[in-house]
Structure 1
Amino acid sequence: MPIPSRAELIDHLVRTRIAGDVATPRENNLSHFRKLANGDRRYWFGLELDDRWTDEQDVLAVMAERCGVVDDPRHRTGQDTIDPALTVDALDRMATVLRKAVEDRQRVLFATGHPGGLLDVHRRIAAAVRAAGCEIMVIPPGLRADEGYVFQFCDVAMLERGATLWHTHSPEPMAAILDGLARDGRALPDLVVADHGWAGCAGQRGIDAMGFADCNDPALFIAEAEGTLAVTVPLDDHVVDPRYYDPLTAYVIDAAGLTAQP
């Protein structure tokens, strides 16, 4: 696929609603910001935020700065946004981290709680990183979490329940992987590329981590602001056609100096 320029990618993100005027409504965003501030750990994504983020307005300020949601606290209903320029800026930062991982021949673990949208994004980046000489970590067999199985497909760890790839923001599958590696006496990953609770758990445990996150998922943006995560990429994480993510994936692979694989 042709590599889009920055301007072409921004136009594509807005046209497909990966960024710009996204599908997630303002009411949902503010509800999630409030729940995080009120200490609901389901919205902490495995991070330990303690009492540092108890004001919903502080959460909104971070999300406006790092994701591009509307910064006016009086805007309570209707449309909300992701700034596509911030998405591309984050992809550039992600590319820098990936380039260093290749230079250092790091062990890299890929995982997703959004297999319906982001599986192929992770798969294609993993394939490019592997081809450049990194070790893509193989997770221990037989791991269980959240009443399901943690398994790996196309170099990407996911949660499976009832023969179905499961959408989950839980940190427990990543905790199962890291605990399983330690139990087997194996080295932990040098870098985790994931999303949501999978990325949050890795970052909280001191592993270099990057994650994709939607505008109603403030925890990873806070984690980047605090330095717990290296990069958080703002985007709608489940648009109507997962092929819409292909130009984004091609862009970050090329920016990292990698070669796309079949």
Structure 2
Amino acid sequence: MAKRLLVAYGLWALGGPLGLHHIYLGRDSHALLWMLTLGGFGGGWLWDFWHLPGWVAAANGAGVPRDRSGSVPALSPLRLAGQVTVGMYFGLAAALGLPWVPMLLAQPLAVGLGVQLVSSVGDQTAEAPGILATAFLASLLFQGRVLAVLPVSLAASIAAQRHRRYKPRGMPQARLAVRLYHLGLACLAFAAPLACRGLGGAARVLGTLLALPRAAAELLLLPLRAGWLLAEILGFASSSPARDGSAGVEPSSWSKRQQRAYEV
């Protein structure tokens, strides 16, 4: 079915940060990237406005070469910058959402997947094994530290640029329900660890807030207790018989007279 430019612009305006226009045009990798970054951190969504006519034409099969199997895509500095940025973003998300997973495993895997996702946007792709291998080697070199996410992402992005190629054309596209199912699983895999970590932090904050009234009451009663203790030390007030007995001290004569008066 032919794609319409007006529909694409409508989806861009209504759900552009979630990649609805990319789903409509069959650009699932681009749609997933927009879902996980909210439209390329906002800037990519605005950038799409000028590219929609060309994407609609490409989706309708106009102006696209048929055979590009032997050619290599031109080097794109914008794609390289996107690979480095998204790789770092995925690496930091893994550090926050998966603290129980060793950094030597979580960081390069997340960075490699982020770089590969950007590499698969549009009509291009890259060799995923080479990207992941480079990310793991760079992570080992920097011992899996959190600050190593930048050099690891840069190394994986360079590897992706070295192994870039065009996607094969003529492959049948899955049904919309299947595509949405796969996109939903990918979003869930990305967001679930972060959501669990966020809920754990919210529970700790809630526990702290619930303990604040008791702490405030103890703080307000502190001057009263200090004054009562000072009065006991100076002899203006006497301690209760229970406290005196527990401390092993004989009650004073004044306390005995008070007790006899109460008994009478």
- Into which bin does the TM-score normalised by the smaller protein fall? under 0.3
TM-score by length of 1: 0.24
Larger radius of gyration: 2
RCO greater where, 1 or 2, for CA within 8 Å and sep 6 or more? 1
Decide which structure has greater helix share.
2
TM-score by length of 2: 0.24
Decide which structure has greater strand share.
1
